[in-house]
Amino acid sequence: MTENSDARKPTVGRARAAKAATAKGAERRREIVAAASELFARAGFRGTGMTEVAQRVGITEPGLLYHFGSKQGLLRAVVEHRDLQSQAFARDIAEVGGLQALREMPAFAHRNRDQPGLAKLFAVLLAENLDPGDPEHDFFVRRYRDMRAVVAEMIRDGQHGGEMRPDVDPELKAIEILATLDGIASQWLLDPEMVDLVVCIEEYSRTLIRDLAADTEPVTAGTPEEEVQG
């Protein structure tokens, strides 16, 4: 019994050491992705060197390559990290369903306003990957297809529930919604003193509700309206 127990100790020790190393490696990867996100947002993917990223987290460039293989591998990790958060957030809102999902849309604005560096990063990387030969072009194509599908399904749910007009094309309206949100965000990033991201998206949300509602929606609290004098 003692011999068997003693024989297992090296195996248990190696397993614990491997688990600790895996956890440490995962934490290091998170640190690198956070640093790369900040640097890519500031100078773009092409304007940021791997040495600069490595110095930011206190490791060597070979150590950085050990975790991600290449600069493109690091870029993929950065955009996937950001996109996983964005798509999960979008699905949570879409699952609310119907017109209420549109009322929840300003939550996107609050999220981006609180994380301007990440919002800028996404805008920079998108601009750098518009051509088919760019390293993350296919990723962004898939990303927008997925987001359009989420928004279109939200509209279809609202139509099936009788809340939204049945004559609206869900796919075309999804393109419009994403384009408007991106356009507002771009103007905010360029001129934050003049463009209030939250106010703009709150107003766009109200416009969408008026446009899509099957019946006239009552004005909600906080919505500006002109009082009719009798």
pLDDT along the chain (230 residues), means of 10: 58 59 79 88 82 93 91 85 74 79 85 78 85 89 92 93 95 96 94 95 95 70 39
State the pTM of this model.
0.69
- Of 153, 154, 156, 126, the closest CA to residue 142 belongs to 126
Instruction: Please enumerate in sequence order all residues whose Cβ is within 8 A of that of 180, keeping only pairs 6 or more positions apart, or say none.
Output: 204
Do 133 and 173 belong to one domain? Answer: yes
Q: What pLDDT score does 210 carry? A: 95
Q: Is residue 172 part of a domain?
A: yes
Residue with tokens 């297809």: 145
pLDDT at 228: 35
Domain coverage including residue 144: 75-219
Q: Both 215 and 111 in a single domain?
A: yes
Q: Indicate if 80 and 65 belong to the same structural domain.
A: no
Q: Round to whole Å and give the CA distance between 42 and 120.
A: 8
With respect to residue 225, please indicate whether it lies within any of the assigned structural domains: no
Q: Name the strand (E) or helix (H) holding 164.
A: none
Split into its structural domains, the chain has a count of 2
Domain end position, chosen among 21, 37, 69: 69
pLDDT at 230: 36
Which residue(s) pair with 164 in the sheet? 213
- Whether 208 and 169 map to the same domain: the answer is yes
